[in-house]
Amino acid sequence: MASNSRLAIAIHTAGMLAFGEEMPITSTMIAKSVNTNPVVIRRIIGSLVKHGLVEVKMGTGGGSKLAKPASNISIAEIYLALEEGEIFHVPDLEESHGCPVAKLVRPVLKEIFGDAEDGLIAKLRHKTLQHVIDELRMELPADFCLKKLSNG
């Protein structure tokens, strides 16, 4: 893959929103923290909004915040919200393809890959966003990062 860092950015983003509690956080603030462009953040937040994980307020003083408690958001939800394609791809064969077995193997592979992804998602379901935040809080005072960002 042109390696998939969207999930990492999405979790980082959601984590910042959780730190921010009710205060709306702007895409620019998050972009600075992740070291990327605000539009990249907005695109990801758009997916999170679409799936009811985040709320956005437009205009001056606007920004994003979590739509529900961090303890109620699993990493699986974030993963699924991104609507990434399948992890493993089964290449297409031309219609004119000679070998019928090659065609029959496709559904078998799809089933295997589906199962595998289910296993992955099951693991992600066990971790909540709160989990992630707690691990961070153990190392730093809660609002450290946000103060930094607000001060420029």
Residue 40's binding partner, choosing from DNA, its own copies, none, with beta-carbon cut-off 5 to 8 A by kind? DNA
39 contributes a contact to its own copies by CB under 8 A: no
64 contributes a contact to DNA by CB under 7 A: yes
CA distance 136 to 151: 21
- Min dist. Cβ of residue 80 to its own copies (A): 13
Residue 130's binding partner, choosing from its own copies, DNA, none, with beta-carbon cut-off 5 to 8 A by kind? none
21 contributes a contact to its own copies by CB under 8 A: no
Buried b / exposed e over 43-72, threshold 16 CB at 10 Å, is ebbebbbeeebbbbeeeeeebbbbbeebee
Give the total of residues touching its own copies (CB under 8 A): 60
Q: Rounded to the nearest 10 degrees, what angle do helices 6-19 and 129-137 cross at?
A: 70
1 contributes a contact to its own copies by CB under 8 A: yes
